[in-house]
Chains A and B, each alone.
Chain A
Amino acid sequence: QKEVEQDPGPLSVPEGAIVSLNCTYSNSAFQYFMWYRQYSRKGPELLMYTYSSGNKEDGRFTAQVDKSSKYISLFIRDSQPSDSATYLCAMSSNTNAGKSTFGDGTTLTVKP
């Protein structure tokens, strides 16, 4: 069983829709939770970075962490065609913040 499981997708939504991207994990030591966006043939771009449980909002993006359920989500409001990309969740433990464990990614397409 993988330490981090991510909804595989692909996901296709109309422009303006609310998008929900989700990951579950099994390692209770994870304390730092990240979401990256990766365009085709590019490097991952850090979108959201949260520590422990709770919500964090940045513009159209909201990250949620529920440590009791070992479940994290990224919500995208008013989705745009430019949001079309692969979204990767990642997490790391408190003792070794350097090593991140990634989900396999969810590919999102936002249709105009």
Chain B
Amino acid sequence: NAGVMQNPRHLVRRRGQEARLRCSPMKGHSHVYWYRQLPEEGLKFMVYLQKENIIDESGMPKERFSAEFPKEGPSILRIQQVVRGDSAAYFCASSSGAGEQFFGPGTRLTVL
């Protein structure tokens, strides 16, 4: 009975590189959400996806960030040309669409 899975758990990138974060939702869930958490802060919504569709990307930075949730495979959050300010914990959550969201363990991105 696996919960939400995220990998990698820790990711180190140099400025200018690309970061790819993966999220596999709970079994039976087709709704995925990405959040970012900076130190000592709450979670900030980034994007909400269903299979093959972006439902709400109002929290996504306009440049360098993209997300997808293909028909097969995990959801991917992609950050191009990373900068130090991208260093944060990125959490994925999934739901069946009924409102309750269940979170994964997060990916901690460090940009050197």
Which of A41, A42, A88 contacts B43, CB < 8 Å? A88
Which one of A45, A51, A88, A98 has the highest number of Cβ atoms from chain B below 10 Å of its Cβ?
A: A98
Q: How far is the CA of A42 from the CA of B106 in the complex (A)?
A: 7
Q: How far is the CA of A84 from the CA of B4 in the complex (A)?
A: 23
Are A44 and B103 touching (Cβ within 8 A)?
yes
Q: Total number of A-B contacts with CB less than 8 angstroms?
A: 66
Which one of A44, A51, A103 has the highest number of Cβ atoms from chain B below 10 Å of its Cβ?
A: A44
Known: A49-B99, A98-B101, A101-B45. 15 other contacts (CB 8 A): A6-B42, A43-B106, A46-B102, A46-B103, A49-B100, A88-B42, A96-B48, A98-B55, A99-B33, A99-B45, A99-B58, A99-B59, A102-B35, A102-B45, A104-B40
23 A-B residue pairs with Cβ-Cβ distance under 8 Å, sorted by A, are A4-B42, A6-B42, A34-B101, A42-B105, A42-B106, A43-B105, A44-B43, A46-B102, A88-B42, A88-B43, A90-B43, A96-B48, A97-B95, A97-B97, A97-B98, A98-B55, A98-B101, A99-B45, A99-B58, A100-B45, A102-B35, A102-B43, A104-B40
Binding site for B on A (CB under 8 A): 4, 6, 32, 34, 36, 41-46, 49, 51, 88, 90, 92, 96-105
